[in-house]
Copies of this chain bind each other. A is one copy, B any other.
Amino acid sequence: MTATEDVRLARVALTWLAEPGTRAVHALVKEVGPVAALDRLLDGGAPDRALRAAVAARSAGEDARAVAEQALARTERLGARLVTPEDDDWPTRVADLSKLRLSGVTRRVDVETAPPLCFWVRGGWPLAQAFDRSVAVVGARAATPYGTHVATELGYGLGDRGWTVVSGGAFGIDSAAHRGALTAGGLTVAVLACGVDRPYPMGNTALFDRIAETGLLMSEWMPGAEPLRPRFLIRNRVIAAATLGTVLVEAAARSGATQTLNRALGMVRRGMVVPGPVTSAMSVGGHEVLRAESGARLVTGVAQVVEEVGRIGELAPPVRAPERLRDRLDDEATQVLEALPRRGSLALESVASRAGVELRTAMRKLSLLEELALVVRRDEGYALVRSPAPDGGRRA
């Protein structure tokens, strides 16, 4: 199932009108659907004054629907895709965010923790499948060599065991975890707090390119969106919710990473902390969490992390072995797929000619193959999604 165009457009417009996570918007969408919700908001019918003011301010200069249309066009040009809850590809675990209530909090980012309305995604993997067996590894940007070492080892070990490593793409612990997973040939996902076309920080551009090649870059913000400060915390709730567990490697006292862990614990995800020397300021946050949260578990290595999330996995519906997607393709789609080169991309006309099918058929089948994440648009043409292949190439 996929969303109709007006639903997609409405979701994009809504996520632009109010920051992701806004409870009132989520509630309205749940009640009347995204299209009617957008209508109501734009007609000044927001359920509370703050939201009404926010919508009015946003709409004053620009038309929300026009912004959304431009965003969708830009998404397509970028070779990115929009994924909505109506899509089979939606990572359903994020729905638990509607149950998240952090205690004793007053900040907007701690209160407005509703599920996302949509995701922009770069990279070939089906989103839902990428998160199926996933662990978040988060921590400080100003990591110590110890923390970097531990995060790299965790990323490698998880990737090596077929677990998706999810993090925020930041310097320090995040980067180390992503890199570890990439080194192991594992799947890694960077959940961004800005548009997928301009991943932040710039200094990680090469890393982001490697992640997009074999894993995923994703965001709740439309292409071009800036990494405004509060967005990192808004984003953190997704990292916590979409994964089976979150491992905190290093964090200063009361840092963003400890807040990701608290969000995880708030949703009965596994919250794990790697301890460190008590003489290090970068160990304070993790030790604080271990002392304050009875649900937080001390872990010292990848085996213990897998043990923790594996347990949750057993309570959750059994993990299905990834289907061999190619087995489900009809003859024409298979011909089109096989027409694509191992490396590089091919223009639509060449694909049709090599596959021996009509241009219109090639276009239809390529669209299907894209949907199945077997093919991506690249360099004005089409290319195979590279390994780790979604058709069973994951290690158990």
Copies held by the complex: 2
Question: Are the CB atoms of A150 and B276 closer together than 8 Å?
Answer: no
Chain B, Cβ-Cβ closest to A290: B298
The stretch from A171-179, A198-206, A277-285, A367-375 touching chain B is A277-285
Q: Count the A residues whose beta carbon is within 8 Å of the partner chain — how many?
A: 19
Given A287-B300, A300-B284, A300-B287, verify A277-B276 contact (CB < 8 Å): yes
A304 to B291, CA, bound (A): 10
* Residue A297 is within 8 A (CB to CB) of chain B in the complex: yes
* Cβ contact of A291, chosen from B279, B283, B297, cutoff 8 A: B297
* Residue A301 is within 8 A (CB to CB) of chain B in the complex: yes
Q: Produce 1/0 per residue, A270-314, CB < 8 A to B.
A: 000011111100011001001100000110110010000000000
Question: Are the CB atoms of A278 and B274 closer together than 8 Å?
Answer: yes
Chain B, Cβ-Cβ closest to A276: B277
A279 to B149, CA, bound (A): 9
A284 to B304, CA, bound (A): 13
The listed residue with most B CB atoms (<10 A of its CB), out of A149, A275, A283, is A275
* Cβ contact of A275, chosen from B146, B149, B275, cutoff 8 A: B275
* Cβ contact of A278, chosen from B150, B284, B291, B297, cutoff 8 A: B150
25 interchain pairs, CB-CB under 8 A: A146-B277, A146-B279, A149-B279, A150-B278, A150-B279, A274-B278, A275-B276, A275-B277, A275-B278, A275-B283, A275-B287, A275-B290, A275-B298, A276-B276, A276-B277, A276-B278, A278-B300, A283-B300, A284-B300, A290-B290, A290-B298, A291-B297, A291-B298, A291-B304, A298-B298
**5 extra A-B contacts, CB within 8 A, seeds A287-B300, A290-B298:** A274-B278, A275-B283, A276-B276, A278-B301, A284-B300
Binding site for B on A (CB under 8 A): 146, 149-150, 274-279, 283-284, 287, 290-291, 297-298, 300-301, 304
